């Protein structure tokens, strides 16, 4: 399953790394790809994640989940 989220506040590689680390720790996550230019975070997972799970992980990294892009 692949979902793209919009995350606000990321500006550098460290930002991307923090978000990647927190989302990767969620159960079933197989891959996380961050596009700094657009603020999009593509998450591939074995099972569906809830928006709340992803929001909590993004919050933990210090950024804001705006919503699901697609």
pLDDT tens string 11-53 = 999 999 999 999 999 999 999 999 999 999 999 999 999 999 9
The pLDDT, as a whole number, for residue 24 is 98
Reading phi first (left if > 0) and then psi (alpha if -120 to 50, else beta), residue 19 is in alpha
The residues, ordered by sequence, that sit 6+ positions from 39 with a Cβ below 8 Å of its Cβ are: 6, 7, 8, 10, 66
Q: What letter would DSSP give residue 53?
A: H
Higher pLDDT, residue 70 or 9: 9
The pLDDT, as a whole number, for residue 6 is 98
For residues 66 and 25, what is the distance between their CA atoms, to the nearest angstrom?
Answer: 20
Which top CATH class is 2-68? Answer: alpha beta
For residues 61 and 24, what is the distance between their CA atoms, to the nearest angstrom?
Answer: 12
Q: How confident is the model at residue 70 (pLDDT cuts 50, 70, 90)?
A: confident
């Amino acid at each position: 399953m692949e979902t793209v989220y919009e995350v606000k506040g990321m500006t550098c590689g460290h930002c991307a790394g923090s978000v990647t680390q927190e989302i990767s720790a969620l159960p079933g996550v197989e891959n996380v790809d961050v596009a700094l230019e657009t603020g999009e975070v593509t998450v591939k997972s074995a099972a569906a994640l809830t928006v709340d799970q992803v929001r909590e992980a993004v919050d933990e990294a210090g950024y804001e989940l705006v919503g699901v892009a697609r």
